[in-house]
Structure formats: C-alpha cells, structure tokens
Structure 1
C-alpha cells in the first residue's frame, strides 16, 4: 500500500482528533467557531480501549514533523510520551489559554497520568461553561471515557449516549456519531459480561 493510500485509509478511519473537533478558529473570547474535522495520519482511536494508538509509525513521524500542536500532542499520547505531551500542552495553553482542543487534551493528559476522577471534574466544569454549544458533544464523549477509567460504567454509558444523540441532532460527521456508538457498544458488552441487568439499566 502506498503512502497516499495509507493516508486515505487513515482519513476514513476513526481517529482521536475526530474526538476533539469543534475547535475555535481563534482563542479570543467571543470569537466565532467552526468545526474542524480532520484525521491524524498514523493515529487511530480504538473504542475498545478508548484510547489513541499508533497505527503507522512513519505517518505518525510525519505528523510530528508537520502537524499542529494539537496533532503532535495526540501522537505523543498515543506513544505514551506523557511528559513531552504535557510540556507541549502547557506551552500552547500559555500562549492560547482558551484553545478548546488543548483544554480537552489537557484532560486527556490528566487521565493518562492516572487521575481520571480529576479529569472528570474538569470536564464537568467545562460542560457547565459550554452547555448548549457546539462543544458539548465532545465534552460528553470525553467525560464518558473518564468515567470508564474511574470505574463508573453506568455514568459513562449515559455520557456516550448523550454525545451520540447530540452529534446525530447536529448532523455531525458520521465518523463522530459512529465513535460514540462504538464506545457505547463496547461499554454495553462490558456491562453485559459483568451483569446483564446492569447493562439494561445503564442504557
């Protein structure tokens, strides 16, 4: 498979960047926002583990060389380079404190550092800030992942369904809707393995 074919394949695959999305074009308060939906070559989001993974090292290297800061953070997280990702997030947020993608990635770093409960608290605070906006669905999705890691599977199922419903209502990219659906399905399977009745109650 050629590099071009790999890139096209990645663009059609579910990626972590497609979980962030809806990034303001400016960090200025009150600036208009536009949805930005782009895949990151070399990185794939796995709804089973609910984490980003490297799918092609060469393409990931290219992203590190040419991608923007948010894309580079995703690659670093996928490679398990939490410290380097944290430094890049801190540097970017110093210059753009209201950069939405970086704020969400900052909570991903918190989860990667082993504190999903703190990540959930921060995501809930962001939900209060962005309730009813185009940013709500991505926050619901990430809150679901934080709840999974903290062990609150019922709460996670509720958040994934909310994200899916919001994305469907918004007419979001089908890959985003599918992301929420696949996370919900993966979680449902876990709940059914633990207790079939718990899964029914959660959904």
Structure 2
C-alpha cells in the first residue's frame, strides 16, 4: 500500500535503517532515515505505526501534531496511553465529552476523530473505502497536467490539509487554503477520510514525487 510522502527510495531506506539499527522505538526516530525530510515526515507519519514503541500513541492514526489533544482526552478519561486497547479504557474514552476541547479551540470533528482513534489503536482508515471513478487516461504522475480535473478518495486529513488518492500511486495534497473559497480553519469540517471529492491539479513535481491539488475550481472566477 502506498503511503503519502514516501517514495520507493525512502521506503527502502526505512527498511534498511531498521535492519541496521534494530526496531523503531518511536515515530520521531524515523527522522533519522536518509532522505526522509521534514515534509515527507509530516505527510507520511500519520500512516506509519510503531508497534511496541515507547509511546503507544505511535501505534494510532493520530498525527503527532495532535498528540497534545490526545493526551487531554486520555486525562479526561482517567486513563493513560499505556491503557490503549484495554476494554475498560475504551469504555472510558468513549464517554469523554468533546465540549471542553472545543472550548479550547479544537475543531469538533478533530476531537471526535481523536476520540475514535484512541478507541481503535492500530486501525488504518484507508481500508474498505469506496472507490472513485478514475480516468482511464491517467495512470501515472507523468499523465497529470496542471488544471486537469479528477475524482479521488480522501485518504488522510491533518491540520494542514488532506491527502487524496487520485489513482496514480502517489496521493496528492490539498492544502487547507485550497479546500474552499472561504477561509477554512479545520480541514475536517470540509472533508473526512473516505470522502469522494473533485480536485484539480495545481502542480506536479516528478523529481520529488509530490502532487499539489485544489478543491477550488480554477475555471470559476
């Protein structure tokens, strides 16, 4: 399964680093992998799981940038990250109210998703998703053209935007500023994992294997 932000070379480097240094103990350790720079880490880390690591949150689909919120949820439930997966802890987490988090400025959808994630460590929301109608003439990144309209599936939603599978192996990024003509504070108020969305190609970087998308129709003034 392809992971946003990771080229074949970086994926190979991740395996080589593990073979040479032993198992990963944290997501942060991935930053030591050759060619896995800050941008690639930011895009891919939410998909990568560290099983049996120092921080149990590293085995969830919660992005590290949302760990402070996750810790508040755990505290409100009266449990710790070490309790994740325990039936009693799951029941307590399920009862946590999002109201205090929202009052602190956390988006309601973000809070709900974090609470759900804490109840299901190890899950991958990319599984069992509906498939979009993909263009038959678009099979690789080389087939993409700026301004091209495509349909895709939202694979991950983070604070800075959403990653969309458009059928060319590498997911494209819709930055939060490109999700609507109006200001969007929280991407999760616009899209959710599994949504089928219409996007337009903004730029294609073949060398770095990155695709920038927009959900704002460029033909509409």
TM-score (norm 1): 0.29
Larger Rg over CA atoms? 2
Higher share in strand: 2
TM-score (norm 2): 0.28
